[in-house]
Amino acid sequence: MLRNYIKIALRSLWRSKGYAAINVFGLSVAFCVCTFLFQMVYRQLTFDSFHEDGDRIFQVYRFINNPDKASRTGGMPLPLTPALKNEYPEVEAATRFLESSSLFDYKGKFVEKNVKYVDADFLKVFSFPMLKGNRSLALRDLSSLVINESTAKAVFGTEDPIGKTLRLGSVGNQKEYIVTGVLADSPDNSSLQYHSLVRIENAPGYQNSKNQWDAYNHTVYVKLAPNATQAALENRLKPFAQKYFSDDLEKLKKQGGKPDERGDLVAIRFQKLANVHFDREIANSGAPIALVYALLGMAVFILLIASINFINLSIARSFTRAREVGVRKSLGALKKQLFTQIWGESALLCLAGFVIGTLLAFLLVPAFNAYFNAKIIMDYLLQPGAIAGILGMFLLVTLVAGGYPSWQMTKVNTVEVLKGKITVKRPGFLRNSLIVTQFTISCLLTCCTIFAIQQVDYLRTRPLGFEKEQVISIPVGNKYSGRQLVQRLRNKLRNDPSVLAISGSGVNLGRGKDGSTSRGILSFTHKEKEIASDWLLVDYDYLKTLNIKLLAGRDFSPAFPSDSLDRVVITETMAKQLGEKNPVGTFFQTDTAGAKIQIIGLIPDYHLYSLQQKPKAITMHISSREEISYIFVRVTPQSLNSSMEKLKHLWTEIAPGAEFTGTFVDENIDALYRNEESMAMIFSFASGIAILLSCLGLFAVALMAIEQRTKEIGVRKVLGASIPGIILLLSRDFVKLVVAALVIAVPLTWFLMNQWLAEYPYRIELSLWVFGLVGAGAIVVALATISFHSIKAALMNPVKSLRSE
């Protein structure tokens, strides 16, 4: 019996090759795209899920209920972790995590890698696999060094690294460490990435800050005891916050701060490790959870559109198979047998689309990763959860999309069919709803794509307060002194007409090839007001290099030796915080025992970081004790490419053995908006697929409608109807459905995009012309799709039309 069903199904599909090809094409594209999108969602939702006892691991953060807005920060003071462990037995293990970079020196071989300063409990909190060494003893000593597998190969090659001595640190400030362990490389879906681990007591400035409760420079992770709960411990930590953050509490009370619903002005709270990746406020990294859900929604939408197409095509084909079904029923076929036969054909089509779609996904994954920077691995498909999800998706589409049309076809009236009086109902609520749903999704995704692209372009082109063009940024690294390299470059390029200015800073502009970002914020009290400012190390000619104009005062100058001691240049926001309308010449102190600092210059606000936040107060200073981390070179517009090559060549002279990783600052700025750019690209990709599949569905519905109205068209032509009139008649109903889809899509898009744009202090305004353009485009696409059938029907000989009835 099964063999007979399959044979009949194959013969039936072969007779309707066009129908089968459209269905298989639509399903295979949908399955392929959904595989990619589900993989991206899976990767995001499984971040940090590989740690043992992950449900007991948390990141510690501070809650501060400011009078204007509550805030959360992951920055912690150094004495907090020891105090937590000593005073609260619920904390089974805790580790600080401070990021830095260092030069690795092994027998004259130099390698630049990042270093994470941690506590000995790091390997108790996190279960990164230990390849070599003793896990419980690897970070016991202050001279212990744990490296990952990639660093071991880069530094030692084929040598066994255990017990080997390495020198770590910056030029002139190195310390010897002994390799005591080798960890596996951190997985791609880990919030914590590392090359090496050393004890945090070795961090620069640790001794001076280990007892300071007002210096926030690192993150903290804890692992709670099995019997402890997050809520209970957070409640028990109320006295802890009042004890160690009393100064913050007093300042907030003076500013009019009120406790939140939990009764806290300042509190120590915990964020689950599984949520850290999505919490951009305390982690300052990762993908917004809304974007992940948007990807999931797009996958569901595309699968839904493909299923709608399948249903519509099956219903369209049911009209031509009505007589076949009637004959089978008259010969004794049961409804169950007819359903099995017709549903079997649908299952074969679904299976073909599923297999082809999966093969396409395997073949196209390298191209997809390269284009969208997706980092998906097809090995995920072999995991039990992924296999169950894929099979569930296949069965759902097969049962729903194939089952409904099969059930409808078994309801054909046998007597009416055999009398030749079979009629198919005119378009109903279900069919119209499916079409409206398809075009609503397509219009929604298209509008979102356009608005996302506009927002990214707006962020890229909005003035930053400095000229980002024609400036080259060069990370210094740890092998040489940045201050010395700046001076060497000045000496080499002093008479080069293509070089306009050279300077340096402790902070990069945008995100360069080194991928590092840093920020130093200094808080102090001035005239009983709390002041917070970015404390920015710069070199001479910084303003000239970035073409920042002075509003008042002067720039730093070598002619004034005191400029490197206690002189600063501030931005307008910093001046407002200080309460000074004319700040040049005034003094302030960052602590009562410190020297008075004089303001020598005032500049406009500018965006040192991303446009995702408004300009912060910035205080620029020059220091002979602090090292320059980045060198900036402004060149003439005519010499952009040649200057980069020239600097690359000079780098080998002034910094032998150090890698040159220079980039243009405008490229670095663009790199800050990769999440937004990825979102725009993915929406563009998804909207294109949705439109393609929607057109296929409309093609199917047009075929069904025109086949149902063949006799009507013939009668109208006999009575003198014109070809344009018939085309208009056949197209009118579909245009109404597209307009209905637009009526639903426009307010929905308006709401969703306003929610997304609300995260940006600088955002576009949603333009009505976009909706008009998308609406007109949707109507044109719909008319173009159905024109093939409508024109063909209008040109048909009415004699043949009436004879076919």
d(CA 798, CA 804): 10
Q: What is the pLDDT of residue 170?
A: 72
CA 357 – CA 359 distance, rounded (Å): 5
* Share of the chain residues as helix, strand and coil, in percent rounded to the nearest 5: 50, 15, 30
Task: Find the helix or strand (DSSP H, E) in which 30 lies.
Answer: helix 17-45
What is the predicted pLDDT for the residue at 416? 55
pLDDT at 457: 85
**Are 126 and 219 contacting, i.e. CB atoms less than 8 angstroms apart?**
no
Q: What is the pLDDT of residue 802?
A: 58
Q: Token pair of 493, please?
A: 């390029």
Enter the tokens of residue 131: 């390849």
For 72-140, the three-class secondary structure string (H helix, E strand, C coil) is: EECCECCCHHHHHHHHCCCEEEEEEEEEEEEEEEECCEEEEEEEEEECCCHHHHCCCCEEEECCCCCCC
CB 342 within 8 A of CB 322: no
* pTM to 2 decimal places: 0.77
pLDDT of residue 426: 46
Q: Where do the H-state alpha helices sit in 628-767? A: 640-654, 665-671, 674-708, 710-718, 723-757
Which pLDDT belongs to residue 15?
61
| pLDDT of amino acid 402 | 65
Q: For residues 81 and 203, what is the distance between their CA atoms, to the nearest angstrom?
A: 15
The span from the CA of 618 to the CA of 537, in Å, is: 10
pLDDT score recorded for residue 537: 92
Please list the rounded mean pLDDT of every run of 10 residues in the chain (805 residues): 56 63 83 86 86 94 85 89 94 92 82 90 94 92 94 91 88 85 91 92 88 86 94 93 87 80 90 87 69 82 81 64 61 63 73 86 85 76 71 75 65 55 53 81 86 84 88 87 89 90 90 74 77 89 93 92 88 90 88 81 89 84 87 90 89 86 89 75 81 77 69 71 73 83 92 84 88 88 76 66 54
Residue type, 143: S
pLDDT attached to residue 390: 73
Determine the pLDDT at residue 801: 58
Q: Residues 490, 682: contact at Cβ < 8 Å?
A: no
738, 782 in Cβ contact below 8 A? Answer: yes
CA distances from 35 to 303, 352, 354, 467 (A): 10, 15, 10, 43
Q: Where are the domains of the chain?
A: 1-47+287-424, 54-276, 471-671
Q: Which residue bears the tokens 């009139």?
A: 725
Q: How many CB atoms lie within 10 A of CB 796?
A: 17
User: How crowded is residue 161: how many other Cβ atoms within 10 Å of its Cβ?
Assistant: 23
Q: Taking the CB of residue 430, how many other CB atoms lie within 10 A of it? A: 13
